[in-house]
Structure 1
Amino acid sequence: MAPSIAIIGSGFGGLAAAIALKKRGFDDLVIFEKADEVGGVWRENTYPGAACDVPSPFYSFSFAPNPRWPHRFSRQPAILDYIRGIARDYDVRRHIRFGTEVTGAAFDDASGRWTVRLGTGDTVVVDVLVSAVGQLSRPAFPSIEGRDSFAGPNFHSAQWDHDVDLAGKRVAVIGTGASAIQFVPEIQPEVGSLTVFQRSAPYIIPRPDREFSALHHRVFEKLPVTELVERGTWYGVTEGLSVAWVYAKPLAAAIKAISKFHMRRQTRAKPGLFDKIWPDYAIGCKRILFSDNYLPALAEPNVEVCTDRIAAITPAGVRTADGREHEVDVIIWGTGFATTEFLAPMRITGTGGHPLEREWRTGAHAYYGLTVPRFPNLVLMYGPNTNTGGGSIIYFLEAQAEYLADYVGHLAATGSALTVRPEVERAYDTRIQAELTGSVWSRCSSWYRQADGRITTNWPLLGIQYKNQARFDAADYEAVSV
């Protein structure tokens, strides 16, 4: 009998899982989506300038190339359109229950099945539970005194309030990560003044973007090999970043030199700016960012970069550690996501009612980021230690979806619930953490790390090594007696 499967989330991860399962003939699927449309982070992030920092020919499914990308680095609307098209073309939409949030799930030892609790108060019982909520779905806010005391409008970049008119306003941007470097150049010409509060400067390198013309589209359509070459080229470039961080210090030094030249050249118009925005940590420790317009925006007369520590948020604005009060009309939080909490706030319990938060009390861990001891028939997409410091997460998601399909295929053949052997997962985690301990990502504070320094997000090697290693082997698992 074919297993019944529930998938949480309909972003790239959820769609990859559903399509891989359907290709294997597993059609007893339900996908729970709390929103009213597919898309995940590409549905939620609608801030001005929202775009991907991985070229679209590589940031897309290998089985579904898109010859009509409008840009090499596509903007949010084009990526969302692509995701919608995937859901339609691969017959996934009929499996989705929109407007349905999952609040928790419990494994039942007697039946060997999962009971999934929904925000409506209903429950659904399935054989296999797949979490595809990702690592970048929950906006994070720093712990700053008085954060809720500001009298004016304030919002996170991932929850952009398009009803707030920024024209002529005094605006504070807190944070200088991947989102901020995209929206700051978009709002800078519009606002009266812009104060960018920078805690840690990013390394920035040129963004080799281009608009794909009608001729490009025709060539990609008539000669699909050309799009394959474009994909392969960008796979090589992004994998090269991973090579630099993991294996080749001279290559990392060369990338740093390129970044320094680029950043110095783009800040010449404002004396002293380069000294403020040049990073003080090892290159690669945080994700490299691609931009040609962020630094020129910072160099404009109506922009100030403030590197003083924020002491408090006040009703009037932002007070820094030097005692200065920065009065503003609007605060925009560009402070990223709660990346190390994974399935939170859902409450998940495994065998014997064992809570997932207890299993992960010292940090999230999973076998190839996919399966956790004592949690049978639970598979995670984009789970612990499967983020990439240089490449495309979709490349990883495709490998994970194939693993999931093999896993479910074995379940269908044996009829038994499976849990990863604790000693197998423990040995794997020990190996991965050993690799990470000496890695560049251990050399600074970033969203890759927990407060205690454990790195729970990143894969420490190359993407191709993950794809080759993360293959389902029944010997790694044991049946759960029911």
Structure 2
Amino acid sequence: MATRHSAPVHTGVLIIGSGFSGLGMGIALDKAGFGDYLIVEKAEDIGGTWRDNTYPGCACDVPTHLYSYSFEPRWNWRRLFSEQPEILAYLKEVVAKYRLRERIRFGQHMVRGHWDEDERRWHAYSADGQEYVARFVVSAIGALHVPSIPEFPGSAEFAGAAFHSARWDHGVDLSGKRVAVIGTGASAVQFVPEIVGEVGSLTVFQRTAPWVLPRADVVFSDRFRAALRRVPGLRFALRNGIYWGAEVGAYAMTRRPGLLKTLEWVGKRHIARQIADPALRATVTPDYRAGCKRLLGSDTYYPALADPKTTVVTDRIDHFTPGGIVTADGVEHPADVIVYGTGFHVIDSFTNLSITGRDGVDLAARWTVEGVQAHRGITVADMPNVFFLLGPNTGLGHNSVVFMIESQIHYVLDAIRRVRSRGAAALVPRRAAQDRFNAELQHELVRSVWNTGGCRSWYLDEHGNNRTLWSGFTWQYWLQTRRLRADEYEFIGPVPNAPARPAVALENVPVQTFPSTVTGN
């Protein structure tokens, strides 16, 4: 039974989530002089993805000098691709520096919200019954936070431990156990090599082979890290180099997928060097264009599959038994522990949102019918003063999403500034502008590797439309989010029963130049 709270909590901006997006939004509001905000978080600590994923080997697959805030660069990263504990520690350092913890309410799982047209305010509710009333709402919930666990007949009868990689059960001792891993995506590629030496046997159920490329990881020496700290411009140059190097991949993925054949050659050479058995080589070699699914990097995954303890199974899973997994060929594969490496609900997680906007428009119902879409991936028609960070079509297949997050945060600040400077109550994108933006975006995606690469990925919805990834270079998105175009929006106002508030605080938001956004030093 939900707990009844005595009074609603009122705030200017309600930020939902305390990962990279939510924390960055809070810091930006503080820097802009807009202190009337509150962050609500469903868990008991900050960190989002980097709090939840603690599986063995969990690490970032983007160089962390770029997978970090441009305004808060860190000189002492231990390695090029940092591991989960170090990234979480970085976020906690940021929270402490900017004194954000006092702005966060933990244990608040937001379940629904509606727009009150008379008040021109949002009313949002947590699972325990707490009501929040806000002028602006920023969804910073991210995409990779709801584990996807397939339903298999008999799964409830399995007698051993079973858990998703994002909810790793560290209380389960894998020593000498028969472990079954379902899925061969980004998480499995990292944790399989970590556990193969510990288990008694390992059965990996592969539906689609991933492209796994050599991982050029580097452990930074004390001398190099000291240089990053002391030499002017060195961090700037490193971050810049990583960024522009990554941008090269966007051209092949979005414009000329045929160029990705080079990566396929590298991937096949990687397999040949690390797996001697011709049959296993054939099993783990993808039959689709590199980049169609998420490109992965590892120097230890293929040796783990080639380990005598490991069996790779490609037959479809039919059902579970108390002692294991039975595939469509009738073979039972014994298991003491099952680990789901089956990814997350991404596109469908948006359609589970219970949000009611103007004129009673149900956002989930609309997105279920029309497909998940937003204007510039941030604002949605008929949803006044709601902003999505890492919303539809703003994910990436080649660069750092933190870059996209910072671009969107700047756009949200500009939107708030426009509302306040006009003495309006709210703004909402015009449906024609949103439709035009998405039509152009989907037209560009038609020729991308994600639409033409011959695979079925979580980037696509049930109709085959890519609702997840951006359609071009990140600098193009940066340009599109530098300034909100007032002609694309309807301004609603003024605020009922209240004088127009001066926009002094947000008028002082600095105009970011491209180098500072990309490479803050």
Do the two structures share a fold, i.e. TM-score over 0.5?
yes
Among candidates 449, 466, 471, match of residue 440 of structure 1: 449
Q: How many angstroms apart in 2 are the aligned matches of 1:224 and 1:241?
A: 29
Structure 2 counterpart of 1:396: 404
Structure 1 counterpart of 2:204: 196
Q: Which moved more, 1:450-459 or 1:41-50?
A: 450-459
Determine whether 1:449 maps to 2:457: no
| CA positional deviation for 1:150 | 1.4
CA RMSD, aligned part only? Answer: 1.5
Determine whether 1:310 maps to 2:322: no
> 1:324-379 CA deviation, whole Å, 9 max, x = no partner?
01011000000000010244544111012211112202321001110000000000
Structure 2 counterpart of 1:60: 68
2:348 is paired with a residue of what secondary structure? coil
| CA positional deviation for 1:253 | 1.7
Q: Would the aligned equivalents of 2:21 and 2:405 in 1 still touch at CA under 8 Å? A: yes
Determine whether 1:336 maps to 2:334: no
Structure 2 counterpart of 1:423: 432
Q: How many angstroms apart in 2 are the aligned matches of 1:345 and 1:248?
A: 35
Determine whether 1:458 maps to 2:469: yes
Structure 1 counterpart of 2:491: 479
Q: Would the aligned equivalents of 1:133 and 1:343 in 2 still touch at CA under 8 Å? A: no
2:105 is paired with a residue of what secondary structure? strand
1:137 is paired with a residue of what secondary structure? coil
Q: Would the aligned equivalents of 1:3 and 1:28 in 2 still touch at CA under 8 Å? A: yes
Q: Which moved more, 1:63-72 or 1:225-234?
A: 225-234
Q: How many angstroms apart in 2 are the aligned matches of 1:432 and 1:9?
A: 27
Q: How many angstroms apart in 2 are the aligned matches of 1:147 and 1:396?
A: 39
1:426 is paired with a residue of what secondary structure? helix
Q: How many angstroms apart in 2 are the aligned matches of 1:105 and 1:120?
A: 14
2:326 is paired with a residue of what secondary structure? strand
Aligned residues between the structures: 480
Structure 2 counterpart of 1:356: 363
Aligned pairs for 1:42-121 within 5 A: 42-121=50-129
Structure 2 counterpart of 1:411: 419
Q: How many angstroms apart in 1 are the aligned matches of 2:446 and 2:149?
A: 27
Q: Would the aligned equivalents of 2:11 and 2:133 in 1 still touch at CA under 8 Å? A: no
Structure 2 stretches of 5 or more lacking a match?
Answer: 1-9, 497-521
> In the alignment, residue 179 of structure 1 is paired with which amino acid?
S
Structure 2 counterpart of 1:326: 333
Q: How many angstroms apart in 1 are the aligned matches of 2:159 and 2:181?
A: 16
Structure 1 counterpart of 2:235: 227
2:434 is paired with a residue of what secondary structure? helix
Structure 1 stretches of 5 or more lacking a match?
Answer: none
Q: How many angstroms apart in 2 are the aligned matches of 1:76 and 1:137?
A: 15
2:347 is paired with a residue of what secondary structure? coil
Q: Would the aligned equivalents of 2:255 and 2:447 in 1 still touch at CA under 8 Å? A: no
Q: How many angstroms apart in 2 are the aligned matches of 1:224 and 1:10?
A: 32
Q: Which moved more, 1:162-171 or 1:211-220?
A: 211-220
Q: Would the aligned equivalents of 2:354 and 2:363 in 1 still touch at CA under 8 Å? A: yes
- Runs of 4+ aligned residues of structure 1 deviating over 6 Å after TM superposition are none
TM-score by length of 1: 0.97
1:124 is paired with a residue of what secondary structure? strand
| CA positional deviation for 1:230 | 1.8
> In the alignment, residue 401 of structure 2 is paired with which amino acid?
I
TM-score by length of 2: 0.90
Determine whether 1:243 maps to 2:251: yes
Q: How many angstroms apart in 1 are the aligned matches of 2:308 and 2:203?
A: 11
Among candidates 295, 298, 307, match of residue 300 of structure 1: 307
Q: How many angstroms apart in 1 are the aligned matches of 2:116 and 2:15?
A: 18
Q: How many angstroms apart in 1 are the aligned matches of 2:133 and 2:101?
A: 20
Q: Which moved more, 1:106-115 or 1:313-322?
A: 313-322
> In the alignment, residue 427 of structure 1 is paired with which amino acid?
R
Q: How many angstroms apart in 2 are the aligned matches of 1:345 and 1:91?
A: 32
